[in-house]
């Protein structure tokens, strides 16, 4: 899977994918993540990428030209399944959306900034708008990093234990059961006996019960989905 991220702040993203599972997925050619600096495609003599809003008002608006030229250039090179714009007005990101994106071949993620982007980009070039939550970030870069991280870890081979992505919280609208590791007794803080029993059937049942109990208590809204 190829993920092309378009941003005016490439430095914010350059380090984000250079660790752990995502870094290994890139090294194993499971995914290719490219970060494009929108400023490099500005034809303005000062390499400007924003301008004052028509009609007045606070904040700057990202201009069409560098973004449209960059997207058109990429589209000439390959077909894209989705061209995503990260924005607080988008559809709220969740595990189902991550699953859906993880089976795509090529996607673009355009990071918004300032007061927004010229609306014509959204009307003519964007296929999907995604928000990572009901709050406003200074830009879409962190949202792009969240989406990329969630999607890449689902790609086959990204996680060594293949069942582990399937048992994530939210995969079946249930929170995960608690996990423990050695020591079994830390100054009197004990691991539940059942996990030390060696009886896999009982352990699996305990985990399922814990998932349901935690979901009822902490996220009852998930059970009605
Ligand atoms: N840009 C600013 N806030 C955002 C959010 N909550 N989700 C996605 N992109 C954003």
Query: pTM for the full model?
Result: 0.94
CB environment 149-176: b (16+ within 10 A), e (fewer)? bbbbbbbeebbeeeeebeebbbeebbbe
* H or E segment and range at residue 5: strand 2-7
How far away, in angstroms, is 102 Cα from ligand 1 center? 20
Burial of 77 by CB count in 10 Å (0-12 exposed, 13-18 middle, 19+ buried)?
A: exposed
How confident is the model at residue 108, as a pLDDT? 99
How confident is the model at residue 113, as a pLDDT? 84
How confident is the model at residue 168, as a pLDDT? 79
* H or E segment and range at residue 20: helix 20-27
Mutate to test the pocket of ligand 1, among 135, 143, 144, 147 (most ligand atoms within 8 A of CB): 143
How confident is the model at residue 124, as a pLDDT? 98
Q: Which atom of ligand 1 is nearest to the CA of 130?
A: 8
Q: Whose CA is nearest to atom 4 of ligand 1?
A: 88
How far away, in angstroms, is 53 Cα from ligand 1 center? 20
Q: Which atom of ligand 1 is nearest to the CA of 138?
A: 2
Q: Whose CA is nearest to atom 10 of ligand 1?
A: 87
Under 8 Å between Cβ of 82 and 108:
yes
Identify the segments of the chain with pLDDT beneath 70. Answer: 162-163
140 in ligand 1 pocket by Cβ < 6 Å? Answer: yes
Domains of the chain as residue ranges with CATH: 2-152 (3.40.1280.10), 167-223 (1.10.1270.20)
Mutate to test the pocket of ligand 1, among 13, 59, 62, 90 (most ligand atoms within 8 A of CB): 90
Burial of 42 by CB count in 10 Å (0-12 exposed, 13-18 middle, 19+ buried)?
A: buried
SS3 assignment, position 142: helix
How far away, in angstroms, is 36 Cα from ligand 1 center? 19
58 in ligand 1 pocket by Cβ < 6 Å? Answer: no
189 in ligand 1 pocket by Cβ < 6 Å? Answer: no
Tokens of 24: 């290994």
Rounded-to-5 percentages of helix, strand, coil across the chain: 40, 20, 40
- As a dihedral over the C-alpha atoms of residue 120, residue 123, residue 129, residue 133, rounded to 10 degrees, the angle is 60
How confident is the model at residue 163, as a pLDDT? 66
């Amino acid at each position: 899977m190829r993920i092309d991220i378009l941003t005016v702040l490439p430095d914010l993203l350059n380090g984000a994918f250079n660790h752990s599972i995502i870094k290994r997925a890139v090294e194993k050619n499971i995914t290719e993540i490219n970060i494009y600096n929108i400023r490099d495609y500005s034809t303005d003599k000062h390499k400007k990428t924003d301008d004052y809003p028509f009609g007045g008002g606070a904040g700057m608006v990202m201009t069409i030209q560098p973004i449209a030229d960059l997207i058109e250039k990429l589209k000439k090179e390959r077909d894209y399944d989705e061209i995503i714009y990260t924005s607080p007005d988008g559809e709220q990101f969740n595990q189902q959306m991550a699953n859906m994106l993880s089976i795509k071949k090529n996607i673009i993620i355009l990071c918004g900034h300032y007061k927004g982007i010229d609306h014509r980009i959204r009307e003519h070039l964007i296929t999907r708008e995604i928000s990572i939550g009901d709050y406003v970030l200074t830009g879409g870069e962190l949202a792009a990093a969240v989406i990329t991280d969630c999607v890449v870890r689902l790609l086959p081979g990204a996680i060594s234990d293949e069942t582990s992505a399937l048992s994530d919280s939210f995969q079946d609208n249930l929170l995960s059961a608690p996990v423990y590791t050695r020591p079994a007794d830390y100054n009197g803080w004990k691991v539940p006996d059942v996990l030390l029993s060696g009886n896999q059937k009982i352990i699996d049942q305990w985990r399922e019960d814990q998932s349901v109990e935690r979901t009822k208590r902490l996220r009852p809204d998930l059970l009605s989905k």
